[in-house]
Structure 1
């Protein structure tokens, strides 16, 4: 017996426990409709959404303007004139087809970066490879630029690049390819500039060139006594062993760095006169935080004679601002900051600066409960005054002009009535005074400053309004020209609807929490919908993600389309708000914002009759996987279904830096109990009542798969039913297995939370398929 229902396939009668239960049978067409709202399908339907530009020089920038006809590479000048093609895309496509041997479409070049080289030739980056292209000849041609197999760090004059080989630092001449060895005493696990934070281990060199390209600041990294991590491949025949250094919470011996400066022409290594430092950063859980692989906590003087750097204690509670004389190696501690929980130097960027010409330093601190900038005297080490003050945070300092004594920065929560997560752009004098707001629109602003700081490109948007991109003067914020204005007409034609922003109260009943809610496009307010909570608990970021416009956030709208309300809530303990807000569960990371998730969802349920609080599910990846399992185990009567991907379920089995920052150093008492016991999900396994799926890649070198197996072991011992999906040879992200995992996740919530039947074996097709 069947009958049709709006937005779904057929109804079916099934027997469960002797009682007739009714649920929908979803068809392939239902899943196909949901898949239309996945990022790779939805994002290309936005036209003229220019959210990032790339400056060629102080007067020109290039960007990609996408529309129904494909990608258009354009160049504009600061004079506000009309854009011009950056290059002939048809000829570029022909040249790239010739060098790659694969068809390249002019409307989909995939060029990630380009610059004008000698004689008008273009140097481009595409798919991680570098090419030099001549489009002016009769037959356009590109040639792949020769490079050593080791990735190099380019000098400021672009003539040399430094790289690691056999634990030593080497130099490669860019023009000739000639190689010179700079250090000779590097040894296994005791090498120069090596990049290994445990969870991240690459072949990149971590170093900072002096402005004149004659010196390199780096370190010799001592991992000889650091413990190892092991993974094995899944294959026919003997498995391949992966082994590398991976320090864990509580280890007596962890990775240390010995700071050095290398005089490149003389090939002379000067060791700084100080004991080995902790492998720590003032910002993140690696000494290299940025995507470019730089060394964020090291800054040169313009004359290359001195070097400023910040040392961080193992527990991230103590910071030392230091200056080194690079000729002698002498080191002086200028000032220190000690905090009760953890220190951070900003959001997504280190925000301290070295101003040797005026004998000053800019320092970032949350000492007043907000992230502000302070000016210090380098001679006395004393605070001169606060540069910024009041409520709201400085998040990223984008430019310091020492001559005009001006600082340009992004900030949040500084304008009353504006969403506290919206970034705005300001300038302020080093000598204090009220900051000047340069981007008054009530929106989230992404900023691209010109190299000389005279202009900036501002792309502003919200989760519900698409971006407008303007060229503005940095002195006063006045608009010079409109660069682009997004058009979402093609996206709306699919039935897409923007998420709904909401606020709810936190666990304390007082603090506002901000979130986004996604409904099915065929939403019926007369119905009751199960709710799925997407969670990333921080502490380094939250569940919602950026507040700028996005056609798709993870698969929230796609999942909603299958008959769910999907929410994301940034709970207490996540960043961007006050220091107290961020500190909410310091030392108790098993909290995972879960009290706030429960409080917020219950409030939404009281507010909206169409939310079914008896059917609440939750899912997340990595820290979100940890939180998902924790939700099922700590709130078993509230969360009924959980999908936990790649969770760090016991942080004693995760790399030392991350958890020791947020939970504190491991302390074990005489009876063997520790401050890390409660955060371990396996210690709560006996509480499981609902449906829990645990997912992990077997070659996850970020969160090792043994994290999930600890929970599996405990659930078996507790005689609990659960589900497990191990993905052979997958890393922390599942790569080509992602569409499969997404479909299985949809099936899991459809079957166990909605009580419906998913279509058999639906395959999500990606553009590469």
Structure 2
């Protein structure tokens, strides 16, 4: 082929591509936030049933909630177990008792904080369909059926109760609960946020006892969050322990229903500790619990005698940095009563360990330069463990099975991407929620060997809609920083990308300890906002800096005691790498983030003022002195022990370096990252004589949503980027 014909062919191909893109729609803000064009379908509310041949699922038919029974072998619906239409109740959640003769359903559910809520609960008899309203419709929290089906425990007004269903009689277990003083059976604010818990009580296996955690937060300082709207703004005061301040004093108790008395479990002499987990070990005589010291660099597992309260330390794990409970939260007692399995990153990567009941190590079950992210099932009969890991790549998640002795490992989900697993109680089946960065959820029912039995959701309608839009695929890349650290990133280019042009770049960052944004998984709404920006002529890039998860202990713990330092270095290195690409306009690189990402974008613009032109910070931490004890001290120690770790990389310290365009956004009702953070940064910027822009959303929480809020927020940010980048 001669040179002229080669150029002619190239011109023809460019022309054809341009025509194809011209025929496709651009991703608009309205299509994302008003029309929900890119919303994917899922399968929710699935509970595996006791006989192993059925599972139940919460569905909506004509706007009415129903719980249906599905046959695993046929994939067909067998029966309607709970019919909201017949009950005259529109419910949002359900749970069965152990023998599946009764169910608890919740309606009128009202969120409190991130994980806590209260609502109106009913007990439904499955055979008769008769419902019993609890507490005459008063809103209660965490209603839980007893294993013997005769009682329901719950929390109301910071006290723990139970109801005997036969006579509807209410029994009060605690009586000292008081707002901003004492909480029984549910977590305080900081435990809920940072230890991912809300309910703090558990029925014993025989239903004769209830173990619960008591929080005395009387000495914890209050945070005052003003609520705007009335003629005189209202004060909302709640207990929030900022770094270095007093935490709640926490204790563990076991209530004996027969004797109507509670006994305190011995958690040691030291009171400035955390007690974030309780577990029944398989019988009602032994309660296990986790104890963490204030700096979270020592984790103890204790067993307590519930009759005497005496306890002993079974296992201890220490670290020079921290032992991350949330990262290692896979403790499971085996039904044979001979031991337990747990996960730990003590060898440098998060892996599975098998211990006897005295805490002695029997076997490290998994090993390698990769991480177990979740244990999803244990088949004690065949001595097998099913788990999800990063063995293929930190960007992916796949399901494996391995014998308890560490042999016979087999991958069950070979497709590249991310697999989230819901496994049946008998480990014979699992539901695979599978996606990639460029393919929405594909949900299948599978047998234990990984063979697909039935497709439950393929999101075909969404895939068809995606074909109508001009979209480019998310591309993954790697680069090395000046010190040789290899970082992962992704890039979204304009659909009509031309390598001969130069494009402005917007970097998206979160970057907090253990987080991961660069994943081969479906990204959702925020990704499509990035696609909208790509349609407007921007390249959107995300880089996971040091400190993020999926790559082992050394990579994650590298940022210990000095948050912001290495992370910002890595984001600046990412911007410089992008500037070296021929299709990037190095003079127009911006960065945005939310929460920890807002902290990162603020600091990156200040410390990287020679590479970043523009930054948007949404709900940012601006000084770690204003954030809570559990999260902050885990990574920085206390401000009394490590003041430079708090101040050296606070945006407040570096306001004099601001040169580019800066937009600061916050919700005034943010109970998590307080509006105080933005007020302090604003004040410091004014003192430094720096010009910037701000926008505040009245009474909105950390998520900044509700009504027209999300639409308004993303319009605001879009216009700012178009104007300033």
Give TM-score scaled by structure 1 length. Answer: 0.80
Contact 2:281 2:337 in 1 (8 A): no
1:314 maps to 2:287: no
Which of 200, 206, 211 aligns to 1:212? It is 206
Contact 2:217 2:247 in 1 (8 A): yes
Distance 1:668 1:460, change over 3 A: closer
1:443 maps to 2:417: yes
Q: Deviations for 1:43-97, whole angstroms, at most 9, x for unmatched residues?
A: 34x57x6588443442223558999x99999753221x143386599x96x769x
Which of 618, 629, 632 aligns to 1:645? It is 618
Q: Distance in 2 between matches of 1:552 and 1:70?
A: 30
Q: Distance in 2 between matches of 1:577 and 1:684?
A: 30
Which of 334, 355, 358 aligns to 1:376? It is 355
Q: Which residue of 1 aligns with 2:375?
A: 397
Q: Tell me the CA shift for residue 664 of structure 1.
A: 1.9
Distance 1:636 1:148, change over 3 A: same
Q: Which structure dedicates a bigger proportion of its chain to helix?
A: 2
Q: Distance in 2 between matches of 1:176 and 1:123?
A: 17
Which of 446, 465, 473 aligns to 1:499? It is 473
Distance 1:250 1:120, change over 3 A: closer
Distance 1:733 1:86, change over 3 A: farther
Q: Which residue of 1 aligns with 2:260?
A: 267
Contact 1:468 1:484 in 2 (8 A): yes
Q: Deviations for 1:388-427, whole angstroms, at most 9, x for unmatched residues?
A: 1122111111223444432221111x2xxx3323111122
Q: Distance in 1 between matches of 2:336 and 2:103?
A: 38
Q: Which residue of 2 aligns with 1:661?
A: 634
Contact 1:155 1:213 in 2 (8 A): no
Q: Distance in 2 between matches of 1:215 and 1:119?
A: 21
Q: Distance in 2 between matches of 1:523 and 1:433?
A: 48
Q: Tell me the CA shift for residue 717 of structure 1.
A: 0.6
Q: Which residue of 1 aligns with 2:697?
A: 727
Q: Tell me the CA shift for residue 338 of structure 1.
A: 0.7
Q: Distance in 2 between matches of 1:64 and 1:149?
A: 22
| More off after superposition, 645-654 vs 228-237 | 228-237
Contact 1:459 1:470 in 2 (8 A): yes
Q: Tell me the CA shift for residue 195 of structure 1.
A: 2.0
1:173 maps to 2:153: no
Contact 1:311 1:320 in 2 (8 A): yes
Alignment of 1:127-526 (within 5 A): 128=109, 147-157=137-147, 158-174=149-165, 176-186=167-177, 189-198=181-190, 205-251=199-245, 253-273=246-266, 274-275=268-269, 278=272, 280=274, 287=276, 297-345=277-325, 347=327, 350-355=329-334, 357-379=336-358, 381-412=359-390, 414=391, 418-474=392-448, 476-487=449-460, 488-497=462-471, 499-508=473-482, 510-526=484-500
Contact 1:199 1:702 in 2 (8 A): no
Q: Distance in 1 between matches of 2:470 and 2:573?
A: 29
Q: Distance in 2 between matches of 1:556 and 1:73?
A: 37
Distance 1:38 1:299, change over 3 A: same
Q: Deviations for 1:474-520, whole angstroms, at most 9, x for unmatched residues?
A: 2x334444444342443224315253231222435544433332233
Q: Distance in 2 between matches of 1:198 and 1:675?
A: 21
Q: Distance in 2 between matches of 1:187 and 1:484?
A: 46
**Alignment partner of 1:373: what SS?**
strand
Q: Distance in 2 between matches of 1:361 and 1:84?
A: 37
How well do the aligned residues superpose, as a CA RMSD in angstroms? 3.8
1:557 maps to 2:531: yes
Q: Distance in 1 between matches of 2:573 and 2:141?
A: 48
Q: Deviations for 1:724-766, whole angstroms, at most 9, x for unmatched residues?
A: 112211111212222211111111101111xxxxxxxxxxxxx
Highest relative contact order (Cα 8 Å, sep 6+), 1 or 2? 1
Q: Which residue of 2 aligns with 1:752?
A: 724
Q: Tell me the CA shift for residue 317 of structure 1.
A: 0.6
1:693 maps to 2:663: yes
Q: Which residue of 1 aligns with 2:70?
A: 76
Q: Distance in 2 between matches of 1:530 and 1:65?
A: 45
Q: Tell me the CA shift for residue 637 of structure 1.
A: 1.5
Contact 1:572 1:596 in 2 (8 A): yes
Q: Tell me the CA shift for residue 435 of structure 1.
A: 2.3
Q: Which residue of 1 aligns with 2:112?
A: none
1:531 maps to 2:505: yes
Aligned length: 682
Q: Deviations for 1:182-214, whole angstroms, at most 9, x for unmatched residues?
A: 124556613422421348589964112212222
Which of 654, 659, 667 aligns to 1:684? It is 654
Contact 1:95 1:133 in 2 (8 A): no
Q: Deviations for 1:121-147, whole angstroms, at most 9, x for unmatched residues?
A: 99765663667899999xx99998754
Q: Tell me the CA shift for residue 262 of structure 1.
A: 1.0
**Alignment partner of 1:280: what SS?**
strand
Q: Distance in 2 between matches of 1:223 and 1:205?
A: 17
**Alignment partner of 2:577: what SS?**
helix
Unaligned runs of 5+ in 1: 1-29, 101-109, 282-286, 288-296, 754-769
Contact 1:530 1:612 in 2 (8 A): yes
Contact 1:445 1:548 in 2 (8 A): no
Contact 1:625 1:643 in 2 (8 A): yes
Q: Distance in 1 between matches of 2:81 and 2:287?
A: 45
Q: Tell me the CA shift for residue 342 of structure 1.
A: 1.2
Q: Tell me the CA shift for residue 713 of structure 1.
A: 0.9
Alignment of 1:536-547 (within 5 A): 536-544=510-518, 547=521
Q: Distance in 1 between matches of 2:369 and 2:695?
A: 46
Q: Distance in 1 between matches of 2:669 and 2:606?
A: 26
Contact 2:621 2:673 in 1 (8 A): yes
Q: Distance in 1 between matches of 2:342 and 2:95?
A: 35
Q: Distance in 1 between matches of 2:200 and 2:524?
A: 33
Distance 1:374 1:560, change over 3 A: same
Distance 1:562 1:279, change over 3 A: farther
Unaligned runs of 5+ in 2: 1-24, 110-119
| More off after superposition, 241-250 vs 30-39 | 30-39
Give TM-score scaled by structure 2 length. Answer: 0.84
Q: Distance in 2 between matches of 1:40 and 1:309?
A: 47
Distance 1:270 1:134, change over 3 A: closer
**Alignment partner of 2:355: what SS?**
strand
Q: Deviations for 1:663-686, whole angstroms, at most 9, x for unmatched residues?
A: 1222458xxx63311132111111
Which of 742, 751, 765 aligns to 2:714? It is 742
Contact 1:537 1:573 in 2 (8 A): yes
Q: Which residue of 2 aligns with 1:767?
A: none
Distance 1:35 1:540, change over 3 A: farther
Q: Tell me the CA shift for residue 120 of structure 1.
A: 11
Distance 1:133 1:65, change over 3 A: closer
Q: Distance in 2 between matches of 1:534 and 1:695?
A: 15
